[in-house]
Amino acid sequence: MRLRIRPANQFGGAISVPGDKSISHRMLLLSALADGTSSLQGWLPAADCEATLRCVRVLGVQVERPARDHLIVHGGGLRGLQPPSEPLDCGGSGTTMRLLMGILAGFPFPSVLIGNPQLSRRPMERVAQPLRQMGAEVFTTEGHAPVRVRGGFLHGIRYELPMASAQVKSAILLAGLYADCPTTVIEPAPSRDHTERLLQAMGATIRKEGNSITIEPVEQLHPLSLTIPGDPSSAAFLIAAALLIPGAHVQIPGVLLNPTRLGWLEAWQAMGASIQAIPEDEVGGERVGLLNASAAARLQAIEIAGAIVPRMIDEFPIFAVVATQAEGVTRVRDAAELRVKESDRIAALATELRRMGARIEEYADGFAIHGPTSLRGALVHSHGDHRLAMALTVAGLIAQGETVIEDADCIRDSFPGFVETMQALGAEIEPTP
Ligand code: S3P
């Protein structure tokens, strides 16, 4: 699919976004291990989460689906997964593969995890190494998928993560559920902490001291029924459009307001944007609330480095688009992880935004953008990366002339209904084959 985008002269309204992707994966996996039935409303029916659902079913878990975004999971207990009769196909989802590796390290049967070519380029030794230290047999294919895991008796370890990665942290904590003594993970900087919060809500004992997290082995997890809050990483695209289109305003209720996910919001506020986050509720140990944003009169460039980077790791594509409209040089450092996402996001952003007239320099661990620049419509490519496709869509809305994004089907990896949501807010976007 291609997307044809025309410049927007009006944009705004109140609209919600689909459920959080990270929590949808985790809730499904943890409910599968719980003792009893969990009901997950607002579950994200995106391609990445569908991969987790497929794998959980291959592992013998009964899941009913009364609606596309409602799952009823009949957990079989911590030891209840069945040996898979086929390879576990994680599609393009890194979270599925890495979190499942951690869980399967606790089971004595062999499993094979496979992914599509894009996922098979991403690093898996970062998870395999600590799991081996815990006592699991883990084989990667030269560092990548396919991955073979055979677990069993695990020992608790103390592990210093070489990079801030919530997926690696979560895999180790999940394996820690099955270990013979507590497991401690030390992060270089805090990454998203949904695994810790949900495990705690389901009865596990987790201790946090500074950047170190310790999990105690448990006998059982309690089932949990909840409505998964809206994904702030999806909301970021709508907020960016509201900031950049003159006269725009959006209101997004029911969004996850976990601080480990809102670095981008703080960065844009520091650049002069008018965005409010108003807490309303708490669900499964997570804060939920309303996001409000209006067009910014003037944005100032900013320097991004250090601990804020993992708290906005998925938002750099849309952050870069916003930076093209800020006055001065916006610099991002300490973000080498962007090179091992769904695409090499530093190289892909530089290539595609340059086609639209942006002035962007690449660093090994980040980029610099000189602004403001008037973007021009162009033929651009998503690199098969959902967040790049959506960021380029927003760029197209503020560009002069028409923008065409090639290979935009990948948007369904995280935000089904993105095009319809943008259209409902006033954007002229036409999907074409
Ligand atoms: C995720 C963690 C992040 C993020 C990804 C989702 C998660 O990856 O980029 O989109 O749900 O744990 P890393 O752990 O590799 O940083």
Chain centroid offset of residue 228 CA: 14
Whether the pLDDT of residue 369 is over 90: the answer is: yes
* 48 Cβ closer than 6 Å to some ligand 1 atom: no
Residues 6+ apart with CB under 8 A from 15: 238, 250, 251, 252, 421, 424, 425
* 24 Cβ closer than 6 Å to some ligand 1 atom: no
* 342 Cβ closer than 6 Å to some ligand 1 atom: no
Whether the pLDDT of residue 20 is over 90: the answer is: yes
Q: Which residues are known catalytic residues?
A: 314
On whether the CB atoms of residues 293 and 263 are closer than 8 A, the answer is no
Q: Candidates 165, 346, 385, 414: which one to mutate for ligand 1, based on the most atoms within 8 Å of Cβ?
A: 165
pLDDT tens per residue across span 246-293: 999 999 999 999 999 999 999 999 999 999 999 999 988 899 999 999
pLDDT tens per residue across span 304-351: 999 999 999 999 999 999 999 999 999 999 999 999 999 999 999 999
pLDDT band at 226 (very low <50, low <70, confident <90, very high): very high
> Distances in Å between the alpha carbon of 292 and those of 141, 252, 253, 279, 370?
46, 6, 9, 11, 27
Give the residue among 167, 193, 192 at the shortest CA–CA distance from 102: 167
Whether the pLDDT of residue 297 is over 90: the answer is: no
Q: Candidates 98, 99, 100, 167: which one to mutate for ligand 1, based on the most atoms within 8 Å of Cβ?
A: 167
Query: Kind of pairing, strands 379-381 and 403-406?
Result: parallel
| Cα 165 to ligand 1 centroid, rounded to whole Å | 6
> Would you state the pLDDT for residue 403?
98
pLDDT tens per residue across span 173-205: 999 999 999 999 999 999 999 999 999 999 999
> Would you state the pLDDT for residue 284?
85
| Cα 310 to ligand 1 centroid, rounded to whole Å | 9
pLDDT averaged over every residue in the chain: 98
Chain centroid offset of residue 81 CA: 25
Which atom of ligand 1 approaches the CA of 166 most closely? 14
> Would you state the pLDDT for residue 123?
98
pLDDT tens per residue across span 50-72: 999 999 999 999 999 999 999 99
Which atom of ligand 1 approaches the CA of 233 most closely? 10
pTM of the model: 0.98
* 429 Cβ closer than 6 Å to some ligand 1 atom: no
Domains and CATH numbers, the chain: 2-19+229-432 (3.65.10.10), 21-218 (3.65.10.10)
Q: Candidates 95, 316, 414: which one to mutate for ligand 1, based on the most atoms within 8 Å of Cβ?
A: 95
> Would you state the pLDDT for residue 377?
98
* 167 Cβ closer than 6 Å to some ligand 1 atom: yes
* 387 Cβ closer than 6 Å to some ligand 1 atom: no
Whether the pLDDT of residue 164 is over 90: the answer is: yes
**Nearest protein Cα to ligand 1, atom 11:** 22
> Distances in Å between the alpha carbon of 229 and those of 50, 51, 124, 290, 387?
18, 20, 29, 11, 19
pLDDT tens per residue across span 128-150: 999 999 999 999 999 999 999 99
Whether the pLDDT of residue 152 is over 90: the answer is: no
Q: Please compute the mean of the pLDDT values over residues 289-301 and round it to a whole number.
A: 95
> Would you state the pLDDT for residue 296?
83
For 247-268, letters b (16+ CB in 10 Å) and e give ebbbbbbbbbbbebbbbbbebb
**Nearest protein Cα to ligand 1, atom 15:** 165
Q: Please compute the mean of the pLDDT values over residues 345-373 and round it to a whole number.
A: 98
* 313 Cβ closer than 6 Å to some ligand 1 atom: yes
pLDDT tens per residue across span 387-419: 999 999 999 999 999 999 999 999 999 999 999
